[in-house]
Structure 1
Amino acid sequence: MSAGTHPAGAQGARAEQHRGDRSGRGDRLEVAASVLALLADRTRLSLVERLGRGEADVTTLTEACGAARPSVSQHLAKLRLAGLVTTRKDGRRVVYALGHGHLRRLVDEALNVADHELRSLPPHD
């Protein structure tokens, strides 16, 4: 995310609430909550998980997440607007990539938690 950009529209009034927080912790928590809220959608989570394995175009992403192409395009637009994914042109195709590796690791860890829950695996550090 670019400096000063809060995903999911966290700008404005909510960001103003934390101006008095000298440590910046409130702003950090607000932005983190916005990122997690964006990833709380199954399709967007699937898109970010797939992009964690490498860049891809809309056709590849549509096949990977199993959603309709218009839906995938809308979700990608939200992720792009929030600065979580980037784009580049390759001829007539638009190729998407993750904005940074932290997202890949975040999604990987969330999926690891899911694996533990589904398989009743013991907790660990």
Structure 2
Amino acid sequence: MNADKHKTIAEDQVRLVVEVLRMLADPTRIQVLWALRDAEMSVNELAEAVGKPAPSVSQHLAKLRMARLVRTRRAGTTIFYSLENEHVRQLVTDAVFNAEHAGPGVPAHHRADPAVRSLRAQEG
């Protein structure tokens, strides 16, 4: 894409970015992507992890696959899903971490940081 080398982004690339963000604008899809951040999972495993029926999760996975946010691997009769690439992992992680900053207190992702723990101990 080379967006980092230009001050503007080509219109076709902007449309692709908007489509990716649309895919992220659904709570179930965010939960699915979050569940996949560290391991591949089957539809049934994902359904259990996100607390949704397998047919519903399967429909979300189809959309995520069409948007190239997840990929599949077949093992016998089971299909396993994983994140398409490290950029998807980073996008989902950054979105979740950014949302944590909107809440009160120290965001969960900062609590493990030794510098934050030290600062909190000094304040307490």
- TM interval, shorter chain, is 0.7 to 0.9
- What letter is aligned with 1:66? G
Q: TM-score scaled to structure 1, two decimals?
A: 0.73
Q: TM-score scaled to structure 2, two decimals?
A: 0.74
Secondary structure class of the residue paired with 1:67: coil
- What letter is aligned with 2:25? A
Rg (Cα) greater in structure: 2
- What letter is aligned with 1:25? A
Question: How many residues get paired?
Answer: 101
Secondary structure class of the residue paired with 2:103: helix
Secondary structure class of the residue paired with 1:52: coil
Unaligned runs of 5+ in 1: 1-22
Unaligned runs of 5+ in 2: 1-7, 108-124
Query: Residue 121 of structure 1: CA displacement?
Result: 4.8
Query: Residue 24 of structure 1: CA displacement?
Result: 5.2
Change (3 A) 1:80 1:121: same
State the distance in 2 between where 1:29 and 1:66 align.
33
- What letter is aligned with 1:39? L
From 72, 75, 80, the counterpart of 1:95: 80
Say which structure, 1 or 2, has more relative contact order (CA 8 Å, 6+ apart).
Answer: 1
What is aligned with 1:111?
96
What is aligned with 2:71?
86
* Cα RMSD for the two superposed structures: 1.9
Query: Residue 25 of structure 1: CA displacement?
Result: 2.1
- What letter is aligned with 1:115? E
Give yes or no for the alignment of 1:38 onto 2:9.
no
> Does the 8 Å CA contact 2:19/2:67 hold for their aligned counterparts?
no
State the distance in 2 between where 1:118 and 1:36 align.
22
What is aligned with 2:56?
71
